[in-house]
Structure 1
Amino acid sequence: MDQPQPNVDEVVQAIAAETDTPTETVSQIYADTLADFRVEARVFDYLPLLVAKRVRSKLKHSKRKH
């Protein structure tokens, strides 16, 4: 049984709000990260969840540097 896929726009909006980052920036990072994950993924069911986690982590880490 396939897992319901989250709405990417909603995920991007949530990450943007959580990290105080422009939506366009989050959207681009999300798309780039998803493309990177798809290259080596064997299972795609949890890809949106893993990508969202990576994007959040990347943005929070970059905010701490400043």
Structure 2
Amino acid sequence: MKTPNVDDAIVKSIASDTNVPVEMVLRMYEETWAEYSDGARIVDYLPVLVARRVRDNLRHWGQEIH
């Protein structure tokens, strides 16, 4: 079940930029969203912060593999 806050365009962009399957990016995005939104009173910037964290995690993960 997809989180209502997921922006498909952002997920697809991250997947394309990092060469990671959309399903994996979606799962990471949803998990990061849940972590960041837990107890958050202001959520205006969450899409930007979540996308940045997912991208950074995937970049670090990619560097560890190589």
Band the TM-score falls in, shorter-chain normalisation: 0.7 to 0.9
Equivalent-residue separation in structure 1 for 2:19 and 2:58 (angstroms)? 9
Structure 2 residues not aligned, in runs of 5+: 1-5
Q: Deviations over 1:7-46 (max 9, x none)?
A: 7100000000010000000000000000000113221000
User: Runs of 4 or more off by more than 4 Å in structure 1?
Assistant: none
Identity of aligned residues (%): 42
Structure 1 residues not aligned, in runs of 5+: 1-6
Is 1:33 matched up with 2:32?
yes
Paired positions, count: 60
Q: Displacement of 1:47 after TM fit?
A: 0.3
Q: Give the alignment's Cα RMSD to 1 decimal.
A: 1.1
Partner of 1:60: 59
